[in-house]
Amino acid sequence: MQVAFRTAEDLSSAVDAVFREIPVLLYHKLDAVAPYPGFQSHNGIEMYYVESGQGLYLVGDETYNLEPGTLMIIRPFTLHKVLQTDANFNICRSVLMWKEEFLLENWPSQEPFPLAHMPADCCRVAFEPGQQSRISGILSHINNEWTERQPGYLPVIRCLIQELLLLAYRRHQQAEQELTLPPAAQFPQEISYLVQFISGHFQSELTLEELSKLVHMNPSYLSSLFHKHVGLTITKFIAVKRIHYAKKLLRETEMPIADIAYQCGFNHPTYFTKTFKKQEPMSPAAYRKAHGSIGRA
């Protein structure tokens, strides 16, 4: 399915809309310009498989190299985005998303569920050249089933995703036994530090001047460098982190919205609501009504 989106938030909204009708979605061999502005975060597990091209993926506050054969497995409601790609060769990727219960409800009871034994927010798996054609083939079969939607297509897709997940788990275990680590992402040390610092301190008041002092940079230069590599201004990135945490509280707690605003670092509930609606096509109250049962299910 070839689809163009203006921002990552648009893509996230489209994913959530599809999940209201069907528990799985595949964008097969996308080769449009990447990355999208902004961050994605949706109610589904994402498998991002790189067919060709190179780049970086920011998941949570960690960066990972993308190269042919890379499979990123990202948990629901985890902030993520492609940071950069080869200027001369865009990433060709297949993006598979599915609701976790889609596999869990039919998983063999005698077999451990692989995601329970893989890293919490994100797992990077690197398939060797000899395995890559098999992974591409599975994704092609899923795409055919998803596109044609013949009787019984969902059970067939479920089996194919199970195969893909088990192969990823097998490769993950092999890599651990080989004591191999993912290659270090080529990301400026100062920017990497700030991404992690903001992720841990977004509830506090943060200013460009204070952040600049932490990395011993001129504020103007730091602002430009951060935007170049992350794709957002520092102010926007802080807002994204705050709203992402607010959405978690809205889904998983009954905390009053005013208290959530202060808990997330906003000085006034009205400003919180205004900022929230810039990132989401609804108010905090409407978001809670639409998604609040997810965390309590």
Q: Where are the domains of the chain?
A: 8-177, 189-296
Burial (0-12, 13-18, 19+ Cβ within 10 Å), 100: middle
For the domain spanning 189-296, the CATH number is 1.10.10.60
The contacts of residue 217 (CB under 8 Å, 6+ apart) are 190, 225
User: Which string of b and e fits 113-127 if b means at least 16 CB within 10 Å?
Assistant: ebbeebeebbbbbbb
Reported confidence tier of residue 15, pLDDT bands at 50, 70, 90: confident
Is the pLDDT score of 240 beyond 90?
Answer: yes
Residue 275 to residues 163, 207, 266, Cα–Cα distance (Å): 42, 17, 9
| Cα distance between residue 26 and residue 282, in whole Å | 26
Reported confidence tier of residue 105, pLDDT bands at 50, 70, 90: confident
Radius of gyration of the chain (CA): 20
Higher pLDDT, 189 or 138: 138
Higher pLDDT, 1 or 241: 241
**Residue 150 DSSP symbol:** -
- CATH homologous superfamily of 8-177 equals Regulatory protein AraC (2.60.120.280)
8-177 and 189-296 share one fold: no
